[in-house]
Structure 1
């Protein structure tokens, strides 16, 4: 328990620093973090017997994130036209491997990019959804995500009776899910008071989206781990498992929240 608390403390400090220092640190940190998450995904997939194209996948992952992140600093989208060239490397590399199921390897290589890299590009884009770097949105997203996790755990452990999705996550309950939404909505009200870019109603809407799709992301990651018979996605965070265990809620919620805020900002 002590190790878990210490790890959690330093994890929060690092995450807050990554958002608050400046735009360059924010971009660089999440570029590296998304690459580590992708590598962790590929390591897990290998345990099931599949052989994803790790080197080509990681190169493409870094390239995809960097190209989309560059759009926040530069105008024009011409560099994105390079993606079909680099993505084809995953197919080409498989030609030189003696694999019994080459298209399984290709499929999981691309799935890793979709499951890890793409969500982090949307999370990065949250900071620039209004046109220039603003740490309020990514910071608010993290605070709401943590509020949901904390609220769901506290309410679920005290009042939880009805299972939410027992087949994939036996400990989650409807009471915890609802408690997480209510506590997240409360934090969203506070954010709406201090961060005036959006109204309190819009912040609460963001909180509900994060609670709902963050929980779904958690369930999807649990389904993935059960399919390959592992408990934790890794051991990089003592007492907390792997990076995917810590960011599973972000993976589905970030693209949804970005889309919502983008259409609000450009309505």
Structure 2
């Protein structure tokens, strides 16, 4: 428990510092996490039947993240995303030379690792650049605070009042009471963030909190489903007491694309 608490404290400190320091550090840090999350996915999915293309997949995730950042800062045009096409083609062509039993399983898991592990972080980075003329670190920071608030509220409410199982087949400890408590606490905190952080309207902050509360929890369940299907406890060991990147950002992986879409559309 002590190791978990220490790791959690420094983990939060690093995330907050990386978000607030400057836009380049923010984009570079979370791009790196995006690549490492994809690589972590490739590693945990390795089996006798399925062997994701770890090296080509990691390079593809890295190129995708780098191109995205250069476009975000205006160093490349949006059409530069086409630079990723040769690397996607490489995933298919390289499988011709590997002589594996189920090459399309390998390709599919590699592409899924990029979609699941890397792309959501690019949406998260985009939250800092909703206003194209100015970087606003308080929107992604607010996202993280709401994510942590939802987790804390769900845990405390679940322990105090939890009776009805939410998804017992996937996560026996989660309850409807905890789920509702987490969403309500996140919505409550969103009013405070609106007052101190600004940047968005009250309705947008509340909408963000609601999406994070609902889909952040579902993201946690999806990652639990992934680990259960693979027969593992943690996605990695990089964070002592907390597992891997996929474990720590499970809620973000589902919620970030939805939150960005909400804020961009409305």
TM-score band, normalised by shorter chain: over 0.9
User: 1:256 Cα deviation (Å)?
Assistant: 0.2
**Contact 1:48 1:228 survives alignment (8 Å):** no
**Contact 2:71 2:80 survives alignment (8 Å):** no
Matched, 1:250 2:252: yes
Question: Corresponding residue for 1:52?
Answer: 52
**Contact 2:139 2:199 survives alignment (8 Å):** no
Question: Corresponding residue for 1:108?
Answer: 109
Q: May I ask how many residue pairs the two structures share in their alignment?
A: 264
Structure 1 stretches of 4+ with a deviation exceeding 6 A read none
How far apart, in 1, do the equivalents of 2:112 and 2:229 lie? 15
Q: TM-score, normalised by structure 1?
A: 0.96
Aligned CA-pair RMSD: 1.1
How far apart, in 2, do the equivalents of 1:76 and 1:105 lie? 32
Q: Secondary structure in 2 aligned to 1:42?
A: helix
User: 1:156 Cα deviation (Å)?
Assistant: 0.5
User: 1:27 Cα deviation (Å)?
Assistant: 1.1
User: 1:243 Cα deviation (Å)?
Assistant: 1.1
User: 1:47 Cα deviation (Å)?
Assistant: 4.1
Deviations 1:102-156 (A, max 9, x none): 0000000000010011101000111001112110111000000000001000100
Q: Secondary structure in 2 aligned to 1:254?
A: helix
Deviates more, 1:126-135 or 1:197-206: 197-206
Question: Corresponding residue for 2:187?
Answer: 185
How far apart, in 2, do the equivalents of 1:228 and 1:45 lie? 7
Matched, 1:17 2:17: yes
**Contact 1:94 1:102 survives alignment (8 Å):** yes
Question: Corresponding residue for 1:30?
Answer: 30
Q: Secondary structure in 2 aligned to 1:171?
A: strand
User: 1:35 Cα deviation (Å)?
Assistant: 1.2
Question: Corresponding residue for 1:217?
Answer: 219
Question: Corresponding residue for 1:3?
Answer: 3
How far apart, in 2, do the equivalents of 1:143 and 1:86 lie? 35
Matched, 1:147 2:149: yes
User: 1:53 Cα deviation (Å)?
Assistant: 0.6
How far apart, in 2, do the equivalents of 1:113 and 1:241 lie? 20
Deviations 1:70-105 (A, max 9, x none): 222116212111221111110111111111100000
Question: Corresponding residue for 1:67?
Answer: 67
How far apart, in 1, do the equivalents of 2:96 and 2:245 lie? 31
Question: Corresponding residue for 1:133?
Answer: 135
Unaligned runs of 5+ in 2: none
Q: Secondary structure in 1 aligned to 2:113?
A: helix
User: 1:48 Cα deviation (Å)?
Assistant: 6.3
Relative distance call for 1:48 and 1:125 in structure 2 (3 A) is: farther
Relative distance call for 1:44 and 1:245 in structure 2 (3 A) is: same
Q: TM-score, normalised by structure 2?
A: 0.97
